[in-house]
C-alpha cells in the first residue's frame, strides 16, 4: 500500500506532457513489484496457482446488460485444473451507467485434492448483486455487494461477499484507450452460518485499456482462508462491447 501511495504521488508531480519519463518510471516500478511478489510467493512454499479469466458485460438495451464470465483456475501454471467457473446474468442500471442490480447463475466444477487424491464436485449457484461506482480525481472506485445461494452436491450454503475495487490511470488522467493503469481490490467472503469467515482476497495488477470497450490485466492475488494462504497469478480480459446501439 505504501508503494502504491508513492507511485500516485510521484505520478502527479510529473508533468503530463512528459509521457516518456512517466513510461520509464512506470516500467521500473512494475518490474520491482513483479520481482518482489515473485520472490515472496516462491519463498513461501513454491505453491503458486494461475487463473485465466474472461469477463463480459454487454449492453442489450439502454438499461439492461448481459453478464458473461469464464474463469479457468489452475493449481499450477496450466494443466492441473483447480476449478472451472462459468457465470452469467442479467443486470439493470438504476441510474445511467451506474448503480447496477443483477440476478445471475453460476456453474462451478471443482477438482480439489483430498488426502493426495484428486476428486471432483459440481456446484450450482444463484446470486444477486449490486454494483455502484465512484470517481475521485484519478481514483475510480467500485463497490460490489453479492449474495450467493450455493447448491453443493451434499449441502446448501449462503454466502455474502463485499468487494472494494480501485483503478488508477497512469499514462493519462482518465481511463482512455491506450492507457496503462494500476488495479487493486480487496474482497471478503462471509458465510450466513458458522464459521462466518470464509476467505479474503487481496489483488494488485497492471492493466492496459485497448479501446473504449476492451482492456486486459495481469496481476497477483493472495487468498487468505482460515487454515491456508495461497497466491495466484491472474490474467484477465474485459469485454464491454454493446449488443445494441441504443
Whole-model pTM over 0.95 = no
- The C-alpha cell at 145 is 455487494
| Residue 121 belongs to domain spanning | 49-239
Of the pLDDT bands very low, low, confident and very high (cuts 50, 70, 90), residue 33 is low
Q: What is the mean pLDDT of residues 61-71?
A: 96
Please, which residues bridge with residue 100 across strands?
93, 131
Average pLDDT over all residues of the chain: 86
Is 6 a domain residue? no
Number of alpha carbons in the 13 Å side-chain half-sphere of residue 12: 9
Whether the CA torsion 10, 165, 241, 214 is positive or negative: it is: positive
Predicted local confidence at residue 48, as pLDDT: 87
b/e 201-216 (16+ beta carbons within 10 angstroms → b): bebbbbbebeeeeebe
Judge whether residue 39 has pLDDT over 60.
no
Q: Does a structural domain hold residue 227?
A: yes
Q: How many domains does the chain contain in total?
A: 1
Is residue 41 in some structural domain? no
Q: Is residue 109 part of a domain?
A: yes
CA angle 24, 11, 21 (to 5 degrees): 25
- Cα–Cα distance between 60 and 86 in angstroms, integer? 20
CA 55/CA 236 separation, integer angstroms = 7
Judge whether residue 216 has pLDDT over 90.
yes
- pLDDT of 3 above 50: no
**Residue 43 domain-assigned (yes or no):** no
What value does the mean pLDDT take over residues 199-208?
97
In a domain, 3, yes or no: no
Check pLDDT > 50 for residue 80: yes
Residue 187 covered by a domain = yes
State mean pLDDT over 103-108.
98
Q: Give CA torsion, residues 87, 92, 98, 101, to 10 deg.
A: -60
Residue 226: its pLDDT value, please?
85
pLDDT at position 4: 42
CA distance 13 to 28: 17
Spatial contact of 201 and 185, defined as CB atoms under 8 Å apart: yes
Residue 200 grid coordinates: 479474503
Confidence of residue 228 (pLDDT cuts 50, 70, 90): confident
Task: Report if residue 231 sits inside a domain.
Answer: yes
Amino acid at each position: 500500500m505504501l508503494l502504491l501511495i508513492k507511485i500516485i504521488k510521484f505520478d502527479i508531480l510529473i508533468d503530463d506532457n512528459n509521457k516518456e519519463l512517466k513510461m520509464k518510471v512506470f516500467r521500473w516500478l512494475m518490474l520491482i513489484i513483479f520481482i518482489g511478489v515473485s520472490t515472496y510467493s516462491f519463498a513461501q512454499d513454491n505453491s503458486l496457482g494461475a487463473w485465466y479469466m474472461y469477463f463480459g458485460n454487454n449492453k442489450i438495451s439502454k438499461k439492461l446488460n448481459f453478464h458473461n464470465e469464464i474463469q479457468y483456475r489452475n493449481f499450477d501454471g496450466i494443466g492441473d485444473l483447480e476449478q472451472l467457473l462459468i457465470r452469467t446474468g442479467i443486470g439493470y442500471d438504476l441510474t445511467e451507467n451506474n448503480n447496477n442490480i443483477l440476478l445471475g447463475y453460476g456453474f462451478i466444477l471443482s477438482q480439489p485434492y483430498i488426502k493426495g487424491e484428486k476428486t471432483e464436485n459440481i456446484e450450482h449457484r444463484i446470486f444477486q448483486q449490486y454494483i455502484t461506482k465512484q470517481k475521485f480525481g484519478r481514483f475510480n472506485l467500485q463497490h460490489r455487494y453479492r449474495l450467493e445461494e450455493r447448491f453443493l452436491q451434499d449441502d446448501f450454503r449462503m454466502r455474502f461477499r463485499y468487494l472494494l475495487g480501485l483503478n488508477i490511470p497512469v499514462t493519462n488522467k482518465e481511463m482512455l484507450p491506450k492507457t496503462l493503469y494500476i488495479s487493486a481490490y480487496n474482497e471478503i467472503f462471509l458465510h450466513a452460518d458458522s464459521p462466518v469467515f470464509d476467505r479474503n482476497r487481496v489483488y494488485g495488477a497492471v492493466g492496459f485499456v485497448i479501446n473504449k470497450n476492451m482492456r486486459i490485466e495481469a496481476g497477483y492475488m493472495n487468498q487468505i482462508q482460515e487454515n491456508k494462504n495461497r497466491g495466484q497469478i491472474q490474467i484477465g480480459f474485459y469485454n464491454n462491447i454493446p449488443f445494441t446501439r441504443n
